[in-house]
């Protein structure tokens, strides 16, 4: 059994001052939350006692369960299954199914008995959705995968959840990145040989529109362009 405790420096009793922006009510709420967190315990429990929630909207394919099982075999069971006070699974259905496939009979669990029934239902959705809407930095991901592929792992790199074909494509994308110095958008066009059609100070009237050849940093040019009018939008 592992007890999660706050360090003395983080204990509410050790706090002598608070930021000026923090109200009495916000301090009280923070202390209540800290006390609640300090009481959480990770406990080993029989896997058969954890009951999957039939209302869980998240579905796990057989392929994904095998991937989770491979992750557990490689890294160990590092993320506890979250349950309510009756042993109903709140989060970790995929890990529980993977344990059944691996023949694991005892799993780490964390009881969230401080949540109400409504909070449990909302958290079950949020726990999946909030991670789902994250995005990858493709360049950093490709570099991480490349580094892993070069250091001689004692496990299959596919345990990351990416298949070898996609890993190869991502690594190859690092070589396809253009040199920032060669960005065509930064190229300065050559001046035409013919005389310019417009010069600084020219004001073109295009029906209701006015176009000035001038300097956007000069107040006088804006006055020439706008006169007494005011812009509704500036881009």
Q: pLDDT tens-digit profile of 128-175?
A: 999 899 999 999 999 999 999 999 899 999 999 999 999 999 999 998
Q: Which residue has the higher pLDDT, 136 or 19?
A: 136
**What was the pLDDT predicted at 111?**
93
Q: Is the pLDDT of residue 79 over 60?
A: yes
**What was the pLDDT predicted at 45?**
81
Is it true that domain 40-132 has CATH number 3.40.50.720?
A: no
41: helix, strand or coil: strand
Domain boundaries, the chain: 40-132, 138-175, 200-229
Average pLDDT over residues 94-121: 93
Can you give the pTM of this predicted structure? 0.57
Average pLDDT over residues 172-187: 76
Tokens found for residue 114: 């401080």
Q: Is the pLDDT of residue 4 over 50?
A: no
**What was the pLDDT predicted at 40?**
75
**What was the pLDDT predicted at 164?**
94
**What was the pLDDT predicted at 9?**
39
């Amino acid at each position: 059994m592992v007890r999660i405790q706050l360090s003395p420096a983080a204990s509410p009793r050790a706090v002598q001052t608070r930021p000026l922006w923090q109200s009495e009510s916000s301090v009280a709420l923070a202390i209540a939350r800290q006390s609640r967190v300090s009481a959480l315990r990770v406990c080993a429990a029989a896997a058969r006692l954890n009951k999957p929630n039939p209302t869980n909207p998240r579905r796990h394919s057989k392929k994904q369960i095998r991937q989770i099982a491979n992750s557990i075999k490689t890294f160990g069971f590092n993320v506890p299954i979250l349950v309510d006070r009756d042993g109903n699974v709140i989060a970790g259905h995929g890990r529980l199914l993977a344990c059944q496939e691996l023949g694991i009979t005892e799993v780490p669990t964390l009881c969230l008995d401080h949540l109400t029934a409504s909070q449990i239902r909302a958290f079950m959705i949020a726990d999946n959705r909030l991670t789902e809407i994250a995005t990858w930095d493709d360049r950093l991901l490709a570099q991480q995968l490349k580094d892993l592929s070069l250091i001689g792992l004692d496990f299959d790199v596919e345990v990351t959840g990416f298949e070898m074909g996609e890993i190869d494509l991502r690594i190859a994308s690092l070589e396809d990145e253009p040199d920032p110095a060669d960005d065509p958008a930064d190229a300065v066009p050559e001046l035409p040989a013919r005389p310019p059609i417009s010069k600084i100070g020219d004001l073109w009237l295009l029906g209701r529109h006015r176009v000035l050849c001038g300097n956007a940093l000069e107040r006088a040019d804006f006055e020439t362009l706008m006169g007494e009018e005011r812009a509704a939008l500036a881009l």
